Amino acid sequence: MPPASSRKQAARPRSISENLNKLFDLFLPKDKVLITIDADPDSLASAMALKRLLWHKVHSVSIAHFNEIKRFDNVTMVRLLKIPLVKLQKIKSKNFSKTLLVDGQPHHHEAFADFQYDVVIDHHPITMDVDAPFVDIRPNYGATATMMTEYLRSARIRPSKSLATALLYAIRVDTHNFELGALEADVKAFRYLFSHANMNLLRKIEISDMGIRDLKYFQMGLENKQVTKGKIFSHLGNVDSPDILVLVADFFMRCHEVGWTVVSGVCQKNLVVIIRNDGFRKNAGTWAIKAFGRLGSAGGHRAMARAEIPLSNLDGHLTKTEVSNLGRFVVRQFKKSVES
């Protein structure tokens, strides 16, 4: 159980307006504000909302991220919504009078360790105490974007189309389209944002999940597919990112005869296995653990699961034919877990 101080930090404020006033009281018109993030849809949208809240209340607001933005949907989100970003590594903290963190906590990454935060707003579980003048952490919320939408509404700020689109997308991503960890608050925020968002931009962001050079993996997946009893197995060999395995696995699930897809590949000396099913079959997470858990990390949910196995862990577990074609090994392991 988290320490008492952490439980207090996670408690919902008596009212959003009261918390909003406490937030505003921290700032002066001369303040130069830095918002730090680990860039993903929720942190990007939440940082945009926080910057909007502080508009006209401080001298300036900068949003800085430490990670490389590589996922195509995130790249498209930043480009189409014109989100102004700077790299955290290029920031000099002495140039800012206030430092804020959204959709994360100071101990989540070493990149945040050099900063003394004035504000922390997040929805992830609390594992360590967070020491800052203003802390609002609500682990029961599906997205930080939901919290920021509540703040905007309390401040009577109507979000621009770009901001509403970003927040709407963030809620959909972090709640997995309301399949995981969503509250009534998330649904209310989504309904409010829906009428303000640009649905054409949202659709483009949602479908921008690959580059032209990634199309070769779909061809490879089709050429290597093995179909048996409503299941599709396919091994793609070396891939640039595990994300492409997810895309191919989801693509195969569009076939109405298919109840399971198991797509594998090798990335950074790890065998990565992506498992999908139609949600009516046995638990995908359970099967992933049974098939691959003793060899590496494995787990997931009823309809989706993932395993990552260092290739070094496979010594002694592969037959001669499986060494040259890891796909055979994946099929064998999966079928063994199903039959056991």
Mean pLDDT, 10 residues at a time, over the chain (340 residues)?
46 76 97 96 98 97 94 92 94 94 92 92 90 95 97 97 98 88 91 96 87 90 93 94 92 92 94 90 86 92 90 82 79 80
Q: Does the predicted TM-score (pTM) go above 0.75? A: no
- State the pLDDT at residue 280: 74
Beta bridge partners of 310: 270
Query: Looking at domain 4-207, which CATH architecture does it have?
Result: Alpha-Beta Complex (3.90)
- State the pLDDT at residue 283: 86
Look-up of token digits 């849809």: 41
Taken in order 48, 53, 56, 59, the sign of the CA dihedral is negative
What CATH number labels 215-339?
3.10.310.30
Write down the domain spans for the chain.
4-207, 215-339
